[in-house]
Amino acid sequence: MKQQGRLSSIIAIVVLLVVAGPVAAEEGEGTNHESEKVVKAFMDTWTHGDVDETVGYLAEDVYYLNVPLEPIKGRAKAREFLAPFFSKDPLIVPFEVHTEIKQTLSDGGVVMQERVDHFMIAGKEWALPVVGIFEVKNGKIAVWKDYFDMGQLQPVVTLIDSLKKK
């Protein structure tokens, strides 16, 4: 079963690369290595940073698409959405997040990651496979798109909603 899930993830990445086609580097975009460093540093902040450190990697006018949710435009709105992930009050959003990067592909300012987000809530763990696509411009993440199966996340959302302060 795990092998089939991994194969599906690899196929999804290959399809995205074929559909996206070659990407021309725009002025202000860095090399593959520079863009990968920005995305890696951004992802690392999820386990050791705070929300301000994390959103500091986002461009002021970032476009964040967390499929299948509605798009978020701008750093301030992204901060508002992300803040509960960094809350210190366990009764607001009582969980921890750990991200496991499976593989990274890049072309100029475009970085694609296959990862698994692990959520620990009330002693239970959920794993959510995600494919993230980032566009890095001028050292900041200008576009961030995460693709995942909402059905796999629904038990997590339901539990969090039940534990939130009323």
Q: Per the residue annotation, which of 44, 107, 146, 149 is the catalytic one?
A: 146
- For position 40, what pLDDT does the model report? 93
pLDDT value at 20 more than 70: no
Residue 163 reports pLDDT greater than 60: yes
Alpha carbon distance 21, 6 (integer Å): 23
Q: Would you tell me how many other CB atoms lie within 10 Å of the CB of residue 162?
A: 8
Find the DSSP H helices in the chain.
2-20, 32-48, 51-55, 75-82, 150-163
Query: How many angstroms separate the CA atoms of 13 and 104, rounded?
Result: 10
State the residue range of the domain holding 128.
Answer: 2-163
State mean pLDDT over 86-100. 68
CATH of the domain at 119: 3.10.450.50
Please compute the mean of the pLDDT values over residues 4-32 and round it to a whole number: 49
In the chain, how many domains are there?
1
More confident residue, 108 or 10: 108
Nearest to 41 by CA among 146, 145, 141, 147: 141
User: Is residue 89 annotated as a catalytic residue, yes or no?
Assistant: no
- Assess whether pLDDT exceeds 70 at residue 120: yes
pLDDT of 21-62, one tens digit each? 444 444 445 577 899 999 999 998 887 768 999 999 999 999
- The helix or strand, by DSSP H or E, that contains position 58, with its residue range, turns out to be strand 58-67
Asked whether the bond before 90 is cis by omega within 30 degrees of 0, the reply is: no
Q: What is the pLDDT averaged over residues 83-96?
A: 66
Q: What is the pLDDT of residue 112?
A: 97
pLDDT, position 88 = 61
- The length of the chain is 166
Q: Out of 50, 52, 107, 117, pick the active-site residue.
A: 117
pLDDT tens profile 123-157: 778 888 999 999 999 999 999 999 988 777 777 66
For the question of residue 117 being annotated catalytic, the response is yes
- Give the global pTM: 0.73
The average pLDDT across 72-100 equals: 79
The confidence band for 161, taking pLDDT boundaries of 50, 70 and 90, is low
